[in-house]
Amino acid sequence: MAALSYISSFISIPLGPVPFTLQTLFVLLTGLILQKNAAFLAQSLHLLLILIFKGFQSFLSPSFGFVLGFILGAYVMAWFLESRSFTFKSALGAILIGSSIFYIIGLPYMIFILRGYLDLTMSNSLIFKTGFLLFVPGDVVKAVFAFLISSRLQRHLKRIQN
């Protein structure tokens, strides 16, 4: 999952300060199919891969906060699902929780980098539009695919865990 999350960052469409990538799909899958410790480790390894191959200047990217949010988001999603059976309702809850965490961590980091480091004067509404609203339709599509893929994998995952 770490490798898929990392590789999917190269499939990118520039849309303002944060590009549209398929990373979120694989982070959602991480939270939906792995147990909490494995999800945490997978997304931590994803962060390590970014730092190794893209360099430590990645910390200065407006989108880097989302990568930090992926670690906590995937962990909380997996934790949420560990005590529940996998249903549409529980998966939807996990996806909403995880996606919220991505943005709760990613948007303030983006604001800090854009305003504090890059010294750009962007209004809050423009940052909200380019860092959140622009991505919601794509995130919904990725969430649907993450649910469909993870629901197909559930019977195989149960067999492996037993």
Q: Where are the domains of the chain?
A: 23-161
* pLDDT tens digits along 120-147: 888 888 988 988 998 899 899 999 999 9
96 confidence band (pLDDT: 50, 70, 90): very high
* Burial of 69: CB neighbours in 10 Å, binned 0-12, 13-18, 19+: buried
Other beta carbons less than 10 A from residue 54's beta carbon: 13
> DSSP assignment, residue 121?
-
- How far is Cα 78 from Cα 76, in angstroms, rounded to an integer? 5
Answer whether residue 15 shows pLDDT above 80.
no
* pLDDT tens digits along 33-85: 999 999 999 999 999 999 999 999 999 999 899 999 999 999 999 999 999 99
**What class, spelled out in words, does domain 23-161 have in CATH?**
mainly alpha
**Separation of CA 127 from chain center:** 19
- Take residue 156 and report the two structure tokens written for it: 């195989």
Q: What is the pLDDT of residue 14?
A: 79
pTM: 0.91
* pLDDT tens digits along 140-157: 999 999 999 999 998 888
